[in-house]
């Protein structure tokens, strides 16, 4: 089965760029995500982490 797929993939011209492109997209995505998380404000993280403990419930129980 793998030989069949590999043979068909070898016949497509220009296909060797797709693994490089997908690795590049994957790497760039996680670098951007890391920088976004690293530069996020500490106060906002603390505020969001305390949301489950707040007494401001809007539920009608």
Give domain limits for the chain. 1-50
Q: What tens digit of pLDDT does each residue of 16-27 get? A: 888 899 999 999
Give the list of residues 6+ apart from residue 15 with CB closer than 8 angstroms, or none: 9
State residue 24's pLDDT score.
Answer: 97
Confidence (pTM): 0.57
Q: What tens digit of pLDDT does each residue of 30-58 get? A: 999 999 999 989 898 888 888 888 876 55
pLDDT tier, 59 (very low <50, low <70, confident <90, very high otherwise) = low
Residue with tokens 């670098």: 31
Of 44, 21, 24, the C-alpha closest to 32 is 24
Question: Quick check: 15 and 9 in contact, CB under 8 A?
Answer: yes
Cα–Cα distance for residue pair 27/21, rounded to 1 Å:
10
- CA dihedral over 61, 46, 38, 36, signed as positive or negative: positive
Residue with tokens 């951007």: 32
């Amino acid at each position: 089965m793998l030989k069949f797929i590999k043979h068909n993939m070898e016949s497509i011209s220009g296909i060797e760029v797709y693994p490089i492109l997908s690795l590049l997209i994957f790497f760039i995505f996680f670098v951007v995500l890391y920088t976004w998380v690293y530069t996020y404000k500490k106060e906002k993280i603390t505020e969001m982490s305390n949301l489950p403990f707040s007494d401001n419930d809007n539920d009608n129980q």
